[in-house]
Structure 1
Amino acid sequence: MKNSAAQPANSRQRILEVSTRLFAKHGFDGVSMRNIATESDITLPAIYHHFGNKEELFKAVETEMYSSHAKSLMDQLQADLSPEERLHNFVYVMFEHLESNPDYLKLLQRNLVDGWEENQAFLVDLSLQPVMDELKVLLNEYAEGTGNGITPITIFSLILGYITLMPVIRHLKERPASANTDQAMRELLVQSVMNFVSANRPTQEPR
């Protein structure tokens, strides 16, 4: 009984794992339910039973990937630390997650450029907007309540830009000698973002 009860859950997880890899590699339009059935070795009827249709399966993939990441980012933003420490940890965790989860990064990049507005709205509501809102609060606190300084979208753009260019950065002659490991490179990029934010931090006008 224990094995039979666990089998549907195992099948569902297997479908999600295979779908994540295929959608990240080929995009939504480049993957069929039959492709997923073949790669997962699970029948088409079973896949439809779990997810209904390809759109629902795609949303299930996104929900599993983005929700956990959003939670880890929110944990950093809401920690009982100074604004600078929270911002540093947020940037570090985002870099770490994007770098260590290539399928997540590919899927995110596809969602940003594929032009499927309904799905982009789903992504924003699911994870991006709550994180952006909380980051805005932190950045305002970091800017000492002035409402000036760096915007959340600037932080996201910097991090995504660095991560997207990472394969090229590793081969650049200008790469600092100290960044001789992935960990060192990540620390360097985090510090670069923090330096940028600090440089754009509003200064108190003399009274």
Structure 2
Amino acid sequence: MEPTDTRTAILEVAARLYADLGYSAVSMRDVAKEIGVTPANLYHHFKGKEDLIRETLAHVFAQKTAPLADIFTRTAASSGQLEVFVDFFLRLLLEDRVFFRLLVRELLDGGGSRLRELAHSVLESPFSLVSSLADQQGSEDQRFLTTVSMIGIILGHVQLAALLPYLPGGRPDYGDPSILGQHISAVLRRAFHDAEKEK
């Protein structure tokens, strides 16, 4: 295995372990054992556990959000970038267990410095792309909060998906990405339309 292949393999294994077990439950030795390298080899690639966590998150989030720029380039704003984003993010959260769990885990357990670094080094670009969907006539504060609301609505629906069939009026198909995507897009379009009317 080439050094870069080893490094990537370590990041992939660490991502799975952190997603399934949490940061505190996974030691450097656990990662080394799972990947089949010595702890010394692991420390050759990463300074320590915090470095491995930070690099793992950057690897997963950068890799999974990278297609968004290409998707936005291929989709004209007038022909449904909002719907394309909602569908992309919903499917990513619903179908990629590691990405979803790491995102939620980081939101719950990530320290300020790690979250700040992740926001600046990896998430700034996709956040800016999504922000371009928000009202461009509004203030910078309004655009920022609208972007957060869009992401929050999608994330909230995914977090509640397992509970939906058991709530009054809930149905199992409410967790289907197509149904959820149509609903969320319609809600966001109405919100944008109402905001336009209020001006």
Q: TM-score, normalised by structure 1?
A: 0.81
Q: 2:186 aligns with which of 188, 192, 195?
A: 195
Matched-pair contact (CA < 8 Å) for 2:13–2:34: yes
Secondary structure of the corresponding residue to residue 138 of structure 1 = coil
| Counterpart for residue 50 of structure 2 | 55
Report the Cα offset of residue 186 of structure 1: 0.6
The alpha-carbon deviation at position 7 of structure 1 amounts to 3.9
The code of the aligned residue for 2:49 comes to K
- Consecutive unaligned residues of structure 2, counting only runs of 5 or more, are none
The separation in 1 between residues aligned to 2:133 and 2:78, in whole angstroms, is 6
Q: Please give the alpha-carbon distance, in whole angstroms, between the structure 2 residues aligned to 1:136 and 1:7.
A: 39
Structure of higher CA gyration radius: 1
| Counterpart check, 1:33 vs 2:35 | no
Indicate the SS of the match to 2:135.
helix
Matched residue count: 194
Structure 1: stretches of 5+ with no match in the other structure? 1-5
Inter-CA distance 80–188: structure 2 relative to 1 (3 Å threshold): closer
Counterpart Cα distance in 1 of 2:105 and 2:37: 26
Query: Where is the helix percentage greater, Structure 1 or Structure 2?
Result: 2
The alignment status of 1:138 with 2:133, answered yes or no, reads: yes
Residue 198 of structure 1 deviates from its aligned partner by 1.8
Distance 1:205 1:111, change over 3 A: closer
CA distance in structure 2 between the aligned counterparts of 1:30 and 1:120, rounded to whole angstroms:
20
2:120 counterpart residue number: 125
Report 1:55-204 matches (<5 A). Answer: 55-83=50-78, 85-141=80-136, 145-146=137-138, 151-172=146-167, 174-176=169-171, 179=173, 185-200=176-191, 201=193, 202-204=195-197
Aligned-pair Cα RMSD in Å: 2.6
Contact 1:98 1:163 in 2 (8 A): yes
Q: Answer whether contact 1:24 1:107 (CA < 8 A) is retained.
A: yes
Q: CA deviation at 1:17?
A: 2.0
Change (3 A) 1:15 1:86: same
TM-aligned CA distance change 1:176 to 1:26, over 3 Å? closer
**Letter paired with 1:19:** A
**Identical residues among aligned pairs (%):** 25
**Offset at residue 53 of structure 1 (A):** 1.6
After superposition, the C-alpha distances for 1:147-205 in whole angstroms (9 at most, x for unaligned) are: 5687000011111111111222245562358x38x6xx111111111111122123457
Q: After superposition, give the CA deviation of every residue in 1:32-58 in whole Å (9 maximum; x if it has no partner).
A: 111112222210011111122212211
